[in-house]
Amino acid sequence: MSNFIKELPDEVMNVLAISDFYQLLSISLRLPDNDLAKGMLDGSYGQDAVNILEELHCNEEEIAQVKKLFEQLATDKDKVTPYLIEMRREYTRLFDDPKKPALGIYETVFLHNPEEEKEGVMLFMSPAALDAERCYKEAGVGLVKETAEPADHMATELEFMMYLYGKKGQALQKGNEEELDLLKKQINEFKELHLHKWALDFFKKLQSEAKLLPYQGIAQLGIVGLEKIL
């Protein structure tokens, strides 16, 4: 943590820590890249996770559990490439298996009840995805259309919260009450309409389904942090 951050008022520090938490979680739920694998193995990811949970004043015993999980990953840093391959296999099994992923990484899929499905209605054109995109647009955030990814991907929803809390931190520092009121409204609306419905359950299910240590750690990180701030 920089000296600048340490000198900020407690409310601003807390808001920025929440933004950092959502950012770390969102990165964790994209297809793993070399930086993520390296961070897992050299301990920097685990240290960031612990630091953020401490800044959020989470339960000390739960923070210790998260720390212990990631400490078990410390290993030969030259093994990044084979470990990345292993992480990508686990990511595919968990979220992206073409036949049946272990759990849905899209809000619509995660909450989907086949008995309620209407004939001819595509899951990815769901009200949840469309409403999430509406929230993004109203906040001035646009999706990258080239990816053709539905707006209710868990990582995308987390990135949106990262953005809103980052903007809230800036508004607090400027004392911009009008912008603060708008951001509080946008945050509360998105929580109520989306994250409250599935975020915590998603990470609890990830905890039960994950077979690879990094994703067990990510699940525990998500549970501890979300139980504190959501």
Contacts of 44 (CB under 8 A, 6+ apart): 38
Check residue 2 and give its pLDDT.
42
Q: What are phi and psi of 6, to 5 degrees?
A: -65, -30
Mean pLDDT of 200-216: 97
Where does residue 57 fall: left (phi above 0), alpha (psi -120 to 50 degrees), or beta otherwise? left
What's the whole-number average pLDDT of the chain?
89
- pLDDT tens for 91-140 read 999 999 988 999 999 999 999 765 444 444 444 468 889 999 999 999 99
Q: At 184, is the secondary structure helix, strand, or coil?
A: helix
Q: Structurally, how many domains does the chain consist of?
A: 1
Q: Tokens at residue 28, please?
A: 């964790």
Q: At 153, is the secondary structure helix, strand, or coil?
A: strand
- Residue 219 CA to residue 230 CA, distance in Å, equals 15
Domain residue limits at 76: 3-229
Mean pLDDT of 57-82: 88
Check residue 226 and give its pLDDT.
97
Closest CA to 105 of 157, 49, 40: 157
Closest CA to 155 of 112, 210, 110: 110
Mean pLDDT of 205-215: 96
Mean pLDDT of 9-17: 91
Q: Tokens at residue 170, please?
A: 């800036």
CATH at residue 38: 1.10.3480.10
CB 84 within 8 A of CB 104: no
Closest CA to 222 of 53, 37, 31, 12: 53
Check residue 75 and give its pLDDT.
72
Mean pLDDT of 7-22: 90
Residue with the bigger pLDDT between 125 and 192: it is 192
Contacts of 203 (CB under 8 A, 6+ apart): 218, 219, 222, 223, 226
Q: Partners of 106 in the beta sheet?
A: 153
**Residue 227 binned pLDDT confidence (cut-offs 50, 70, 90):** very high
- pLDDT tens for 132-154 read 999 999 999 876 554 568 899 99
CB 58 within 8 A of CB 225: yes
The DSSP secondary-structure symbol of 72 reads T
